[in-house]
């Protein structure tokens, strides 16, 4: 088994470890207990595994764990600070954008990066849709998710 | 876990080429949005990887004093799309990259990968063809430059040798100055889909006449292609409905669409005709003209 030593932060906490080169970042995070990171398709189609790497959204199923070396990873677990939900998480609750919840952590991270990128901009529904095109949801029909992103953008 | 048997993290371009040369089974991994999908499906052809993600120099995007634009092969779609230089000078490349996957995929997928994997459907292929990108490649014999014209030799095939590494794309000012462009991707879904047909045009007007039209298609033949017949039909013409019709007729000589589960040959040909007219019209309008 080939391993590489990596240093990274996950939700602001530092880690150092030897990782198997065959692992995806999704595998690694789930093994470490960050189970908000979901495996849906495993091939970059559904976005359930979305995390932020240096504040950029990526499908962690298509991202080698070793690439996380010297990077800062954010997952949905870390968005909630001191027991308080982030504005994005709050907006998902308020707008009823969560049904079975499987897609939710990935979508929360997609919305978070989308809003951080477009800070201060007035966003159309069309732009919000484009910004979330990498995430599938089998339950909600998306309207409540778009509402949540728009609501969170105003917070 | 991905079935990776051998993995080498390249420390320099030379190191990558040596690692490739040392093992004929080895393959380059860049953004990973294709290679890791293959591995996920258990494709053992991708079991020996040379990882080039540490080669930071290949991420660079810059312009020199003469207006030559350099796009590093490892620059991601998002990095290219958001770059000031590219937005200003190569808006049609921005348009075409925007049609790739969703944000997460564009954040990791590289344009080098999109071109080098030889996909017939490469969305950036049309932009590369009409802007006549040069590809600066490092191989065992040193550095060389190849044109994008003729780079693709068949589905999934390019002129690259096994131990070649694409370092960057070079776009010369005469390939963008004075041109306007347009790209349209026809796909079954509005996002996250492979093109049924992709079509890009670049055009320069001379008064009320079309001076130069450059037209390219993806998925219209076994490789992304330029359309010499259609381009000729446009030359020195006033952009009228008749001219657009003549372009659509001529383009049939340029393309070789085929039937697949996505669409029949006949339907593809219909889209090809329609898109040829539409992108040309759009490019004329983007230059402030009217059709
Ligand atoms: S599990 Fe990663 S995109 Fe579906
Ligand atoms: S809430 Fe069930 S998949 Fe989105």
Mean pLDDT value across residues B174-200: 87
Q: Which residue among B175, B202, B221 closes a domain?
A: B175
Q: Do B108 and A134 touch (CB under 8 A)?
A: no
Residue B276, domain CATH: 3.30.390.50
B125-176 tens-digit pLDDT? 999 999 999 999 999 999 999 999 999 999 999 999 999 999 999 999 999 9
B274-285 tens-digit pLDDT? 999 999 999 999
B34 CB near a chain A CB, below 8 Å? Answer: no
Residue B23, domain CATH: 3.30.43
User: Are B94 and B24 part of one and the same domain?
Assistant: no
User: Are B196 and B279 part of one and the same domain?
Assistant: yes
Q: Are the beta carbons of B107 and A54 closer than 8 angstroms?
A: no
CB atoms within 10 A of CB A80: 15
pLDDT at site A36: 98
- Distances in whole angstroms, Cα of residue B15 to Cα of each of B18, B68, B140, B165: 5, 28, 11, 11
**Residue A130 forms part of a structural domain:** yes
**Residue A82 forms part of a structural domain:** no
Q: Which residue among B136, B158, B175 closes a domain?
A: B175
Residue A16, domain CATH: 3.10.20.30
User: Are A11 and A71 part of one and the same domain?
Assistant: yes
User: Are B137 and B190 part of one and the same domain?
Assistant: no
Which pTM was predicted?
Answer: 0.94
Is the model's pLDDT at B191 over the cut of 80? no
A58 close to ligand 2 (CB < 6 Angstrom): no
Q: Which residue among A28, A46, A76 closes a domain?
A: A76
Is the model's pLDDT at A62 over the cut of 90? yes
The DSSP secondary-structure symbol of A84 reads: B
What one-character-per-residue DSSP string does B127-167 give?
A: HHHHTT-EEEEEETTEEEEEESTTTEEETTEES--TT-EEE
User: Are A100 and A47 part of one and the same domain?
Assistant: no
Q: Are the beta carbons of B196 and B190 closer than 8 angstroms?
A: no
Distance between CA atoms of B225 and B8, rounded to whole angstroms?
Answer: 34
pLDDT at site B194: 79
Burial of B100 (0-12, 13-18, 19+ CB in 10 A): buried
Alpha carbon of B192: minimum distance to chain A alpha carbons (Å): 7
User: Are B89 and B156 part of one and the same domain?
Assistant: yes
User: Are B64 and B147 part of one and the same domain?
Assistant: yes
Alpha carbon of A113: minimum distance to chain B alpha carbons (Å): 10
Residue B110, domain CATH: 3.30.465.10
Residue A146, domain CATH: 1.10.150.120
Taking the C-alpha atoms of A137, A140, A143 and A145 in order, what is their torsion angle to the nearest 10 degrees?
A: -60
User: Are B225 and B244 part of one and the same domain?
Assistant: yes
Handedness of CA B34, B60, B164, B214 (dihedral sign): positive
Q: Are the beta carbons of B222 and B233 closer than 8 angstroms?
A: no
Q: Are the beta carbons of A102 and A48 closer than 8 angstroms?
A: yes
What's the total number of domains in chain A? 2
Mean pLDDT value across residues B259-264: 84
Q: Which residue among A43, A76, A109 closes a domain?
A: A76
User: Are A9 and A56 part of one and the same domain?
Assistant: yes
**Residue B291 forms part of a structural domain:** no
**Residue B275 forms part of a structural domain:** yes
Q: Which residue has the higher pLDDT, B259 or B108?
A: B108
B4 CB near a chain A CB, below 8 Å? Answer: yes
User: Are B168 and B188 part of one and the same domain?
Assistant: no
User: Are A50 and A105 part of one and the same domain?
Assistant: no
Owning domain of residue A93: 87-153
What's the total number of domains in chain B? 3
Is the model's pLDDT at B36 over the cut of 80? yes
Distance between CA atoms of A104 and B99, rounded to whole angstroms?
Answer: 24
- The binding-site residues of ligand 1, defined as CB within 6 angstroms of any ligand atom, are A 39-42, 44-49, 59, 61
pLDDT at site B111: 96
Q: Which of A25, A28, A30, A43 to mutate to test the pocket of ligand 1 (most atoms within 8 A of CB)?
A: A43
Collapse the DSSP code of A147 into the 3-class scheme (helix H, G, I; strand E, B; otherwise coil) and give the result.
Answer: helix
User: Are B30 and B64 part of one and the same domain?
Assistant: no
Is the model's pLDDT at B190 over the cut of 80? no
Distance between CA atoms of B20 and B161, rounded to whole angstroms?
Answer: 10
A112 CB near a chain B CB, below 8 Å? Answer: no
Which structure tokens are listed for B218?
């993806």
A125-154 tens-digit pLDDT? 999 999 999 999 999 999 999 999 999 999
User: Are A33 and A65 part of one and the same domain?
Assistant: yes
Owning domain of residue B282: 180-286
**Residue B221 forms part of a structural domain:** yes
Mean pLDDT value across residues A60-79: 98
Distance of CA A75 to the CA centre of its chain: 5
Q: Which residue among B157, B175, B193 closes a domain?
A: B175
Q: Of B109, B66, B107, B105, give the one whose Cα is nearest residue B89.
A: B66
Mean pLDDT value across residues A6-33: 98
User: Are B21 and B69 part of one and the same domain?
Assistant: no
User: Are A35 and A96 part of one and the same domain?
Assistant: no
Angle (nearest 5°) at CA B75 between B74 and B79 = 160
Is the model's pLDDT at B192 over the cut of 80? no
**Residue A37 forms part of a structural domain:** yes
Angle (nearest 5°) at CA B17 between B172 and B222 = 60
User: Are A48 and A107 part of one and the same domain?
Assistant: no
**Residue A81 forms part of a structural domain:** no
For residue A76, give the H/E element and its range.
Answer: helix A76-79
**Residue B1 forms part of a structural domain:** no
Q: Which residue among A11, A46, A76 closes a domain?
A: A76
Of A27, A57, A114, the CB nearest to B1: A27
CA atoms within 13 A on the CB side of B159: 12
């Amino acid at each position: 088994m080939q391993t590489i030593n990596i240093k990274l932060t996950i939700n602001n906490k530092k880690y150092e470890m030897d990782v198997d080169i065959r692992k995806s970042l999704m595998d690694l995070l789930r093994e470490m207990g960050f189970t908000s990171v979901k495996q849906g398709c495993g091939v970059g189609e559904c976005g359930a595994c979305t995390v932020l790497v240096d504040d950029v959204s990526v499908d962690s199923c298509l991202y080698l764990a070793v690439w996380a070396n010297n990077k800062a990873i954010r997952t949905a677990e870390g968005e909630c600070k001191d027991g308080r939900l982030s504005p994005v998480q709050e907006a998902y609750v308020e707008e009823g954008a969560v049904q079975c919840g499987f897609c939710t952590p990935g979508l929360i991270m997609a919305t978070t990066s989308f809003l951080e990128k477009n800070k201060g901009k007035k966003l159309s529904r069309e732009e919000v849709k484009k910004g979330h095109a990498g995430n599938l949801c089998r339950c909600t029909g998306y309207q409540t998710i778009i509402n949540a992103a728009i609501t969170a953008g105003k917070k | 876990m991905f079935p990776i048997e051998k993995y080498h993290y390249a420390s320099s371009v030379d190191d990558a080429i040596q690692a490739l040369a040392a093992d004929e089974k080895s393959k380059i991994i860049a953004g990973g949005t294709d290679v890791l999908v293959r591995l996920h499906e258990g494709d053992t052809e991708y079991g020996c990887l040379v990882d080039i993600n540490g080669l930071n120099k290949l991420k660079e995007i810059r312009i020199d004093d003469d207006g030559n634009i350099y796009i590093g092969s490892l620059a991601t779609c998002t990095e290219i799309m958001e770059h000031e230089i590219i937005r200003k000078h190569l808006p049609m490349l921005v348009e075409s990259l925007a049609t790739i996957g969703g944000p997460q995929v564009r954040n990791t997928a590289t344009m080098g990968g999109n071109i080098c994997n030889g996909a017939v459907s490469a969305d950036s292929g049309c932009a590369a063809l009409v802007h006549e990108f040069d590809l600066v490649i490092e191989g065992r014999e040193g550095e060389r430059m190849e044109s994008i014209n003729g780079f693709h030799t068949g589905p999934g095939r390019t002129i690259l040798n096994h131990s070649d590494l694409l370092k960057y794309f070079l776009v010369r000012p005469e390939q963008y100055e004075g041109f306007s462009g347009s790209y349209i991707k026809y796909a079954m879904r509005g996002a996250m889909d492979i093109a049924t047909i992709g079509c890009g045009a670049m055009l320069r007007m001379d008064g009320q006449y079309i001076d130069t039209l450059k037209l390219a298609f993806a998925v219209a033949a076994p490789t992304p292609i330029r359309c010499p017949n259609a381009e000729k039909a446009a030359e020195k013409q006033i952009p009228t409905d008749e001219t657009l019709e003549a372009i659509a007729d001529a383009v049939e000589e340029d393309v070789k669409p085929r039937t697949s589960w996505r669409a029949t040959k006949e339907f593809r040909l219909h889209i090809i005709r329609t898109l040829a007219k539409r992108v040309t019209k759009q490019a004329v309008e983007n230059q402030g003209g009217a059709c």
